[in-house]
Chains A and B, each alone.
Chain A
Amino acid sequence: MSESALSRDGEASTPSAHPAQVDLAALLADSQVGEVLDELDRELIGLKPVKARIRDIAALLLIERARKQIGLAAGSPSLHMSFTGNPGTGKTTVALRMAQILHRLGYVRKGHLVAVTRDDLVGQYIGHTAPKTKEILKKAMGGVLFIDEAYYLYRPENERDYGQEAIEILLQVMENQRDDLVVILAGYRDRMEVFFRSNPGMSSRIAHHIDFPDYAPPELEAIAERMLEGMQYTLSPSGLAALREYIPLRMGQPHFANARSIRNALDRARLRQATRLIAQAGGGEITREELMTIEGVDLRASRVFG
C-alpha cells in the first residue's frame, strides 16, 4: 500500500469515529417498539395518561440510543417506577408490557417480569430477610421486579419489623445496579403516598410516578366486550342493555375493583347462562348461537339489581 493511500485512510477515519446523523426511523423499526406500543393502545382500553407516559419513556430511550450512536453523552436514565391506582386498573398488565418495551429498547437485557409481594421479600426471623430479598433480586436481574402492594414492606407500628431491612437492600440495588434491573412499586394511591413520605430514600430513587385513573362506564363496557370476545361469548341486545345498567350500579357499591369486578360479573353471568341453558333445553338440541350468547336475564339476576 502506498503512503498516500495510508494517509487518506487515516484522514477519513479521524474527523469522527461516529456518524454525524442517525436514522431515527431505522432505529425505531429496528427496536420494534412501535409494535408493542400499538398493541398497548389496541389491547388496553382507556388509561390515557399511562399510555402517554409510556410513550414518553420509549421516546427518551430511543433518543438516548441515537445519542449514543452519535457519540454524545448518554447516561442511562433511572427508570424505577411507581404505579398507583385503585384495584383492577391494570397495573400488573401494564408492568408486563413495560418489561417488553424496555427489553425491545435494550434497557433491560432479558425482559422478564418477576412479580412479588411482601411475603417473598421479608423473612420470619432475624437473618432470614437479607438472603430472601437478595434471591428475589437475583431472579429479577435483567428484567423487571414488580412489587405489588409495596407499602406493606414498611410497618411503622412494629419497630422490629424486618420490612425495613428489605427496603434497605432494595434501595442499595436500585441505586448501584440500575443497568441490571428496573423496580416497579405498585399499590393504592393514598397508601403509597404515606409509604413514600416515610421512606424519602425510596421516593427520591423513583423517577416515574404513574397514576392509573379509574375507568369510566363506557370504558368498562368496552373492557367487558373485549373480555367476552376473548372467551368467545357475545352479548345479546338485551344483554348489552343490562350491562349498561349494571355498570353504574356496581360502581356505586363498596369494593368496586374496576376491570376485575367486571370480570367477576361476567364469570357469574356465564354460570347463570349455563344453568338457564340446561333448564331450557332439558336434554334437547342446542345451537352454537345459544351457547355463545349471554342474555339480559343472566346479568339481571345479579344482586346489584335487587
Chain B
Amino acid sequence: MKITQGTFSFLPPLTDEEIRAQLEYSLQQGWAIGIEYTDDPHPRNYYWEMWGNPMFDLRDAAGILTEINECRKAHAQTYIRINAFDSTRGFETTRLSFIVNRPSEEPGFQLKRHEVDGRHIQYTIESYATQRPEGRRYG
C-alpha cells in the first residue's frame, strides 16, 4: 500500500527534476529546507529523524539534491521527506512538505478492533512494518 502524505500526496512520485523545481521555488520564497527520514509510516508520526540540520541561506537546489541523494544512499529503505520552513511569522512554519523516497515494499496497515465498555468498538490502525524492531522494518 503506497502511503501518501504532504503537499503532493495526490500525485505520482515526483521525479528528481520535479523535486529540483519545487526546491528552487522554495529557495526563491526564502524558505529553509530540511530533510527527514523515518521507518515508522504511521500517519500520526510527526517527528521524523533529521538528516543533518535544516539548510539555511542556500541559493541553489544542487546542494539539497546532493544531500537527498546522500540520505537515500544511507537510508534507501525508509521514507524521506522534504520540509520547507517559512520564518516570516517569527518562527519556522512548515509551508511545504513532500515525500521524496519510499521503501520498495510497503506492507500497509492492519485495522485493529478493541472492545471497550461492553460491545463498544474502538478502531485503530497499525502498520505491519512496525511489528518488527526499528531499523529492520523494511528489508
Is B55 part of the contact surface with A, judged by Cβ < 8 Å? yes
For window 98-126 of A, CB contacts with B under 8 Å fall at: 109-110, 112
CB <8 Å contact, B57 and A139:
yes
What's the Cα separation between A177 and B70 when bound, in Å?
14
Residue in contact with B64 in the complex, picked from A109, A112, A138, A181, CB distance below 8 Å:
A138
Q: Which residues of A contact B58 (CB under 8 A)?
A: 138-139, 141
1/0 per residue, CB under 8 A from A, across B51-63: the answer is 0100101111111
Closest 4 CB pairs of A and B: A142-B60, A138-B63, A141-B62, A180-B62
Q: Which residues of A contact B61 (CB under 8 A)?
A: 141
Q: Which residues of B contact A141 (CB under 8 A)?
A: 58-63
CB <8 Å contact, A110 and B59:
yes
Query: A109-B60, A177-B62, A180-B62 in contact; A138/B55 too (CB < 8 A)?
Result: yes
CB <8 Å contact, B52 and A131:
yes
Q: Which residues of B contact A110 (CB under 8 A)?
A: 59-60
Residue of A nearest to B70 (CB): A134
What's the Cα separation between A135 and B67 when bound, in Å?
10
Residue of B nearest to A136 (CB): B63
Q: Which secondary structure dominates where chain A touches chain B? A: loop
Residue in contact with B60 in the complex, picked from A131, A135, A180, CB distance below 8 Å:
A180
Number of B residues, CB within 8 Å of A: 12
Q: Which residues of A contact B66 (CB under 8 A)?
A: 138, 177
Is A143 part of the contact surface with B, judged by Cβ < 8 Å? yes
Q: Smallest distance from the beta carbon of B115 to chain A beta carbons, Å? A: 52
Is A153 part of the contact surface with B, judged by Cβ < 8 Å? no
Identify the B interface with A (CB < 8 A): 52, 55, 57-64, 66-67
Residue of A nearest to B55 (CB): A138
What is the total of A-B residue contacts with beta carbons within 8 Å?
35
Q: Which residues of A contact B63 (CB under 8 A)?
A: 137-139, 141, 180
Q: Smallest distance from the beta carbon of B22 to chain A beta carbons, Å? A: 16
Residue in contact with B67 in the complex, picked from A109, A112, A138, CB distance below 8 Å:
A138
Q: Which residues of A contact B59 (CB under 8 A)?
A: 110, 112, 139, 141-143
Q: Which residues of A contact B62 (CB under 8 A)?
A: 109, 141-142, 177, 180-181
Residue of A nearest to B59 (CB): A110
Residue of A nearest to B24 (CB): A109
What's the Cα separation between A235 and B57 when bound, in Å?
43
Residue of A nearest to B52 (CB): A131
A/B interface sample: 30 pairs, CB < 8 A: A109-B60, A109-B62, A110-B59, A112-B59, A131-B52, A135-B55, A137-B63, A138-B55, A138-B58, A138-B63, A138-B64, A138-B66, A139-B58, A139-B59, A139-B63, A141-B58, A141-B59, A141-B60, A141-B61, A141-B62, A141-B63, A142-B59, A142-B60, A142-B62, A143-B60, A177-B62, A177-B66, A180-B60, A180-B62, A180-B63
What's the Cα separation between A110 and B61 when bound, in Å?
10
What's the Cα separation between A180 and B58 when bound, in Å?
13
What's the Cα separation between A142 and B28 when bound, in Å?
13
Residue of B nearest to A108 (CB): B60
1/0 per residue, CB under 8 A from B, across A165-208: the answer is 00000000000010011000000000000000000000000000
